[in-house]
Structure 1
């Protein structure tokens, strides 16, 4: 507790280029950019594969890749190739980490829709695109949001590795603190990352309550 007081009570930690606001914005930049790009890749691909049933092997391979991906090793390799002139060396590993849960949950959400509901939609004269947009996506939205939430938490937690290669973010407090034996900074940085991840959880929970149809929510509760 004393370390937390020392860290958060130090005015120097709240100002300047190494202050908490700046490091938090850097971490937010890495996380949001990676999550947006991953969503632009994972959601359309998951919708396409889930709706057509073609390319299911891609989902299986991607899910297995998520378990085996050495994020830190990939980060170091990309930095050696691209340098640190931009944030792409950090974004690429984070995107690779975030795509699998988004893709898999989007695919499972679409494929898990009741076949009778699909047939009824086609029976009403809707075409494939209309069935996907007006029927399948609203029903699958809870799982799609779950994939985004899982990816967001993983990205926020893993973005700390940017500090290993000299880039910014909240991970700097941990890496620099360990190097200089400044343990209040290590603990403070860790707490900030945990709080950030919890904030992502809360944000997506609120988003689900706002965007998911009450009928869909009740249907999931009954299941």
Structure 2
């Protein structure tokens, strides 16, 4: 058994505030559902479903005059924009002295990029003359970056469970919702493709943060022969 040592030292370096651990577990569960269920329902499809047509109609009615904004948001999911976004978010975390959260941003968004690429041919859903579309990598990476920013803000404000959850939710809804809208407005993806990308971020970022925090604890709290911790 490890001794308690100095838990505040460990928590200060963690990617996720302990108070937000239940929130991220719930996020991962919701994310898994949003990613897996549409993948099973729309696997092999080459056209929109009923929900897609309904949502597309709603977005088309709200997108007038928003093309410039949609294209700017879409750029964040492109290779260059994605790289700039990840480095910027990681830099913010490092400036705030949250290296574990910086690692979460880089490793998590990198993992999301790989996962969305791998899933596309497996799900084999197509749009626009055969382009693989599920899940939306653009929606996934921007939502992931927004979640990391929310976790950083919650940490800097020393938020409790309720306030911290509200902060993370607000950033995810704002950043993720905006990029989901952009993908639908530009008809780059079916709405359910964007939803799957959104879910991918909700799943992968909490798992990545949990893994990194586990490594942080292993490196910070080391057992000695008598069961204590080193000075």
* TM-score by shorter chain over 0.5: no
Superposition TM-score, scaled by structure 1 size:
0.33
Greater helix proportion: 1
Find the structure with the greater CA-based Rg.
1
Flag the structure with more relative contact order, 1 or 2, with Cα contacts below 8 A and sequence separation at least 6. Answer: 2
